Amino acid sequence: MKRPHGVVVASKNVDKVAEIEAVLASLDPPITVIPGHRWPDVEETEDTLEGNALLKARAVVAATGHAAIADDTGLEVDALDGAPGVHTARYAGPEATYDDNVDKMLAEMRGVADRSARFRTAVALVTPSGNELVVEGVLDGAIAASRRGSGGFGYDPIFEVDDRTFAEMENGEKNLISHRARALIALAQALAEA
């Protein structure tokens, strides 16, 4: 697949878009994000991260006529048999806020000794000509016993890597090691090898 000159980030989550833009800008060469496009909401109906990422990227390509990058991320907690997984964003319900999801996770993990977890991100790139590429990034960590830090978004206050939560890290530091960064770097490598 030929590297696109620019892409639309297929997300309406401003926190996620900012993180993806920062990582894409740091690649060598960088991938330019095309701002200002709109598209209808895309319901994530697939049962895999890869399927949801492709669903969103295809819809944005159809709506904008530009190449699109979409991701879907799952938090997999060993003590919860891999949950919430594909339901990570809606763990506490369809209208859940970041705090609702974190509260539910902390309640589920109260008193649990095995706190190991991982974030898994599938990133899909779809072009107007119909080319599709899906890659994955994984970061192992643990669920903290309580919220720590003031940065980031989503589960960042309770996802620990090397005894620090994502919310305790500067954005630049998080963007060097995160599951999403790993997936986007894998995408850039796959494009370079194509």
Among the listed residues 115, 114, 113, 134, the one whose alpha carbon sits nearest the alpha carbon of residue 124: 134
> How far is Cα 66 from Cα 129, in angstroms, rounded to an integer?
10
Give the phi and the psi of residue 89 in degrees, each rounded to 5: -70, -25
Determine contact, residues 134/123, Cβ cutoff 8 Å.
yes
Q: How many CA atoms lie within 13 A of 21 on its CB side?
A: 14
Check if 72 is active-site. yes
> How far is Cα 183 from Cα 157, in angstroms, rounded to an integer?
21
User: What are the beta bridge partners of residue 33?
Assistant: 7
3-state secondary structure of 15: helix
Determine contact, residues 133/1, Cβ cutoff 8 Å.
yes
**Given 15, 71, 72, 140, the catalytic residue:** 72
Among the listed residues 71, 67, 53, the one whose alpha carbon sits nearest the alpha carbon of residue 5: 67
Give the active site residues.
72
